[in-house]
Copies of this chain bind each other. A is one copy, B any other.
Amino acid sequence: MNLNALQKIGYGMYIIGSHRGKKLNGQIANTLFQITSEPPTVAVSINKSNLTNEFIKASRVFSASVLCEAASLPFIGGFGFKSGRDVDKTKNVNYKIGQTGSPVFLDNATAYLEAEVTHDVDAGTHTLFIGKVVAAEILSDNPCMTYDYYHQVKRGTTPKTAPGYISRKKGGEE
């Protein structure tokens, strides 16, 4: 079995936002997808150790901003390699409070959606949150960043808490 084969699965790049009361947070994820069209429903896989997981479980809502190719590594790193427990991720970025109360992050975003959680599935290290889409808007026509583009062109890396992480001991890339 060659787990690097799983790197061939295609994704975009997103900032997933949620809240607990007035506390706001956001994190990078690649694992967002639509699972039904009627009603419009999406799913996202979030590591249980992440603050965003706690916030979605508490508020039962989340936002997703679709990142464009122009999003810089420092911008992505601001959401992806640090915890909202240690830093305020809404500092120095543009966002609005969406209709679910979640922060909708606007910098480098080509579109966003907001969802109300209908199911959460315990998937071991991660929770798979399934949500009905209650808001969605297009923000620009800039090309969307793919996860492949993030790795190949931006030379971005994958944190250990991501679903796609493959450790070196398994013969995979970092």
Please give the residue numbers on chain A whose beta carbons come within 8 Å of chain B beta carbons, in ascending order.
1-6, 8-13, 31-43, 45, 66, 110-113, 119, 121, 123-126, 128, 130, 133-138, 144-148, 162-166
Q: How many copies does the complex hold?
A: 2
**Most central of A10, A119, A130 by chain B CB within 10 Å:** A10
Jot down 8 A-B pairs with beta carbons below 8 A, ordered by A: A9-B12, A9-B34, A9-B42, A11-B11, A34-B164, A35-B123, A36-B126, A121-B128
With A8-B110, A119-B121 known as contacts, the answer to whether A1 contacts B137 (CB < 8 A) is: yes
* A1 contact from B10, B125, B135, Cβ within 8 A: B135
Q: Chain B residues near A123 (CB, 8 Å)?
A: 35-36, 41, 119, 130
